[in-house]
Structure 1
Amino acid sequence: MSNRETKTDVILIGAGIMSATLGTLLKELVPEWEITVFEKLAKAGEESSNEWNNAGTGHAALCELNYTNEKPDGSIDISKAISVNEQFQVSMQFWSYLVNSNLLQNPQDFIMSLPHMSLVQGEQNVTFLKKRYEALSNNPLFHGMEFSDEPEKLMEWIPLIMQERASNEQIAATKIDSGTDVNFGALTRMLFEHLENKNVDINYKHAVNSIKRTSDGMWELKVRNEDSGTVERHTAKFVFIGGGGGSLHLLQKSGISEGKAIGGFPVSGIFMVCNNPDVVAQHHAKVYGKAKVGAPPMSVPHLDTRFIDNKKELLFGPFAGFSPKFLKHGSMFDLITSVKPDNLLTMLAAGAKNMSLTKYLIQQVMLSKEKRMEELREFIPNAKSEDWDLVVAGQRVQVIKDTEAGGKGTLQFGTEVVSAADGSIAALLGASPGASTAVSVMLEVMTKCFPEHMKEWEPKIKEMIPSYGVSLMENPELLHEIHTSTAQILGLSEKEQVLVHSLDEEAKVLNEKV
């Protein structure tokens, strides 16, 4: 046991995008509050937020077909798409504020402009996509979306996908140029660097072993220093558990009633990454397809241009996998130790309900590289096996809980905040759209946990996020204003993007000459 003990206002567990966002918001609103961060790994953004563990889509529902379901009457429900898009606009506004205030520099290091596309095959899917396009393109949030089922136009949009494709194949796509690729790993690291400059006490290689309530209403954490092996005690008025897949175990240790009867189901992802620069150069978009029957929404196949360390990459996936770990750097016992008396029946019910999902995941794990190549060839007909390598992505833990709509043991696909009734502790669980909606989700945490402060904080929040409390869909003028200013500040307008790319190309040529 170490003699190190601290008392602080706020403890953030996990150095991912969620803690980075909450810490940054609080430092702007109440700079005098003391904040301490504990992260088990050696640096920030190494788990779910890392650029190789995160699709980086900048989820704005521009291309993800699972956010727009077809109703029994054949109409398309776009309510989820609207909600996700509005949440992403909130993130964009906050990042713009940070760049504009010189709290973050070089936005092109974490965000790039990139078309978002949906691609479908077969008559039924083409009909669905056209209906989806008609429902979305009339909405100001999705202004500028185009639809085409003409091979010539598709060849112009996605040459790599259209080459050597059978001429009689029914295929259609939508395209919207206002999409983005976001490097959440880079953004997380930049935000933690900023927090360090604001005197936030960041402790890497520190694992939280236990959380308990003290008699005076504070939270006491036992934290193991991974380097020295000593255990330290730290207390705080408010604790945020933002440890990705690791959050469920810590929520259970807190003992709050709101964390009872909640389970977690881990799903891992495998991407294929292209190692041939000539192939990479032929594709410039994020192209999302339709999930196979029985596949979880996070396994929607997509062919993505990515910008990682200022280098253009091409990734395809994700192929789902199963591992009992809740974190990539987790333990093989994570799943079994998450089963408690209060969530046992919920977990058993989920297991019985999701036999097809379990079967699907096992099949995915067993896939050979050639089988994965066959799936890739649905996107790139002439893909060559030697051009592609496998990369294991991050672990995601889907929430399992009892719901009115789904009954006992319902598998939830999304991001959820669980907080104590008195607002003294909150945990973030779940997966996609996750990182893209971090700012909205952290504002939700603040509303639940600091209701007494929200009124006094509101003017500052509105300065950071002009659309706070307002529906952008119902205010097209404000939406246009925000789109224009965020594009300009974040360097997303087309001319600036072309300039950034041409400067990058020039730099490459110079490097090669040197």
Structure 2
Amino acid sequence: MCRQSSAVDLGEALMAQNEIETVDALLVGAGIMSATLAVLLKELDPGIKLEIVELQESGAIESSNPWNNAGTGHAGLCELNYTAEAADGSVDIKKAVNINTQFEVSKQFWAYLIAKGAFTSPREFINPIPHLSFVRGAKGVNFLKNRFAAMSKHHAFAEMEYSEDRATMTEWMPLMMANRPADEPIAATRVLGGTDVNFGALTSQLLGYLNKQTASEVKCNQKVTGLQRTANGWRVEIKDTQSGQAREVNARFVFLGAGGGALPLLQMSGIPESKGFGGFPVSGQWLRCDNQEVVKQHQAKVYSQAEVGAPPMSVPHLDTRVVDGKTSLLFGPYAGFSTKFLKHGSFLDLPLSVRPSNLGPMLAVARDNMDLTRYLIKEVMQSQEQRLDALRKFYPDAKTEDWRLEIAGQRVQIIKKDPKKGGILQFGTELVAAEDGSIAALLGASPGASVTVSIMLELIERCFAGKARDEWVGKLAEIFPAREKTLESDAELYRKVSEHSDQLLQLANKSSVAAASV
């Protein structure tokens, strides 16, 4: 994926140490965000000169790695935290619809690349897996029933099924129904058209395709040490972490897509738009099962409700995962805490991110989120048996020997100024861009990877506004037959576009393929 430095490269660098390379776009971080943006830009303008620089030895090592994220292919089908319940019992589905249509936009881009021959088999990164929601207790059942009533009226969720019948639920999720208390009120919804996405494999395919293009490079072991605004963009100082060689690159546009590492780089830029942002790092843990006798009994992603007082990121789910052709189960997440912004980062990341401009918002968030602090302490102090107790609410017969702890990646939740509270902790993603569009950064976490394409299209429309409205219009329409707002309102077009994407991504016969893939 990455071009590695060689003796010749270093020799050339020493000979040309007074020369500064110029690129149209420099993208920091070789994860799903930068890889997607880079390929999009090359499709829109094949002559654009761009470079991706990555701190690690290869791409997709941090949040894009399949074991560092849930990897669901978030489409709003089963995630109960995307459908808020009002005091009167009504359910707001707007966020779920928005996420669903954004995922459909992602599918359009991947299908376009498949049709073009840019990728190999789509089965290397996307597999059909049913998405289920599961609730326990009378209150949960009532909520799910109301949610189903609201969602099934929208064309994006027309295929959703609801059941309180135990025989039906046993067919849908046999692993979870065995030896479940007979008097426990339970209910579930199912959508056969869900997917499991390996964003690490997808990133590798994007980077591989990018490396075949002219005027594009992916370089690893590269640390950005300085950002300075110039008359025509940015001068970026970069150090090779293996050789120690320093270089400078003039870039007309810079994207900071380094996951948790994006915040310190954004602060380094000094742009006014960066003021007031802070980060709250949260680590994740999962229980993982590779015992195929257990795995073959669960062919679904099943989401439930978070415990009372727990944050949205703690929504428990039991997921079928397909990674490199092998199927496993993941259950979690279990939260942890580290002051690192990246899994391979430094414990000084959090304290070094504190600035006079964000100290107030960070202190306000600390004051107003003591429940989150208590939750994290409780999670960190859990034993393996306590984690298994949580799993047994999903899978009553879970055996200790079948499950092991998997340490996931770091998530840096956004802290931003708020005129009333001083600061708020935001769960989600936010695109921060300079007024002139010369630099942009992506902050935050879920559902980031699944809606990457929509986020990068927003970036292009903000930072390359003139071209997006003019010379790129035709190509954008070719790649994306329908965008989010149209997909939300036009049922016939939604079905047509989704079916086309499914056919190219080999998801067309979802129910039979899902069973065969596990």
| Smaller-chain TM-score bracket | over 0.9
The aligned counterpart of 2:161 is 146
| 1:83 partner amino acid | N
| 3-state SS of 1:319 partner | strand
CA distance in 2, matches of 1:325, 1:173: 38
Q: Residue 469 of structure 1: CA displacement?
A: 6.4
The aligned counterpart of 1:39 is 54
| 1:471 partner amino acid | T
The aligned counterpart of 2:229 is 213
Q: Residue 71 of structure 1: CA displacement?
A: 1.3
CA distance in 2, matches of 1:433, 1:417: 13
The aligned counterpart of 2:453 is 439
The aligned counterpart of 1:512 is none
Of 101, 107, 126, 2:141 maps to: 126
The aligned counterpart of 1:483 is 498
Q: What is the 5 A alignment of 1:191-210?
A: 191-199=206-214, 200-210=216-226
Q: What is the 5 A alignment of 1:101-500?
A: 101-199=116-214, 200-214=216-230, 216-403=231-418, 407-455=421-469, 456-468=471-483, 470-494=485-509, 498=513
| 3-state SS of 2:261 partner | helix
Q: Deviations over 1:318-341 (max 9, x none)?
A: 101101000000000011001001
| 3-state SS of 1:466 partner | coil
The aligned counterpart of 1:99 is 114
Q: Residue 209 of structure 1: CA displacement?
A: 1.3
Q: Residue 296 of structure 1: CA displacement?
A: 2.2
| 3-state SS of 2:409 partner | strand
Query: Is this contact kept in 2: 1:267–1:323, CA < 8 A?
Result: yes
Query: Is this contact kept in 1: 2:192–2:511, CA < 8 A?
Result: no
CA distance in 1, matches of 2:515, 2:168: 24
| 3-state SS of 1:268 partner | strand
CA distance in 2, matches of 1:476, 1:350: 41
Of 43, 68, 80, 1:28 maps to: 43
Q: Residue 425 of structure 1: CA displacement?
A: 0.2
| 2:228 partner amino acid | K
Query: Is this contact kept in 2: 1:461–1:468, CA < 8 A?
Result: no
C-alpha RMSD of matched pairs (Å): 1.5
CA distance in 1, matches of 2:484, 2:193: 23
CA distance in 2, matches of 1:104, 1:403: 44
Q: Deviations over 1:142-187 (max 9, x none)?
A: 1110011111111111100000111001111100001100000000
Q: Residue 494 of structure 1: CA displacement?
A: 2.1
Q: Residue 415 of structure 1: CA displacement?
A: 0.9
Query: Is this contact kept in 2: 1:115–1:284, CA < 8 A?
Result: yes
Q: Residue 497 of structure 1: CA displacement?
A: 5.8
* Unmatched 5+ stretches in structure 2: 1-12
Q: Residue 295 of structure 1: CA displacement?
A: 2.1
Alpha-carbon distance change, 336 to 270 in structure 1, aligned in 2, over 3 angstroms: same
Following TM superposition, the consecutive aligned residue runs of length 4 or more in structure 1 with deviations greater than 3 angstroms are 495-498
Q: Residue 293 of structure 1: CA displacement?
A: 2.3
Query: Is this contact kept in 1: 2:98–2:484, CA < 8 A?
Result: no
The aligned counterpart of 1:508 is none
Q: Deviations over 1:431-489 (max 9, x none)?
A: 00000000000011011101111122111111101003642131111111112111110
Query: Is this contact kept in 1: 2:71–2:198, CA < 8 A?
Result: yes
CA distance in 1, matches of 2:200, 2:455: 18
CA distance in 1, matches of 2:511, 2:289: 27
Query: Is this contact kept in 1: 2:105–2:484, CA < 8 A?
Result: no
Query: Is this contact kept in 1: 2:54–2:222, CA < 8 A?
Result: yes
| 3-state SS of 2:357 partner | coil
Q: Residue 235 of structure 1: CA displacement?
A: 1.2
| 1:194 partner amino acid | Y
| 3-state SS of 1:402 partner | strand
Q: Residue 38 of structure 1: CA displacement?
A: 0.5
Query: Is this contact kept in 2: 1:115–1:286, CA < 8 A?
Result: yes
Query: Is this contact kept in 2: 1:35–1:201, CA < 8 A?
Result: yes
CA distance in 1, matches of 2:296, 2:484: 42
TM-score scaled to structure 1, two decimals? 0.95
| 1:419 partner amino acid | A
CA distance in 2, matches of 1:264, 1:469: 29
| 3-state SS of 1:290 partner | coil
Q: Residue 250 of structure 1: CA displacement?
A: 0.1
The aligned counterpart of 2:7 is none
Q: Residue 359 of structure 1: CA displacement?
A: 1.0
CA distance in 2, matches of 1:495, 1:75: 31
Q: Residue 266 of structure 1: CA displacement?
A: 0.5
CA distance in 2, matches of 1:223, 1:294: 44
CA distance in 2, matches of 1:75, 1:407: 28
Alpha-carbon distance change, 494 to 369 in structure 1, aligned in 2, over 3 angstroms: same
| 3-state SS of 2:492 partner | helix
| 3-state SS of 1:174 partner | strand
CA distance in 1, matches of 2:269, 2:452: 23
| 1:41 partner amino acid | Q
Aligned residues with identical type, % of pairs: 51
| 1:107 partner amino acid | P
CA distance in 1, matches of 2:45, 2:411: 32
Query: Is this contact kept in 2: 1:241–1:427, CA < 8 A?
Result: yes
Q: Deviations over 1:292-321 (max 9, x none)?
A: 123222221100001001011111011011
User: More displaced, 150-159 or 248-257?
Assistant: 150-159
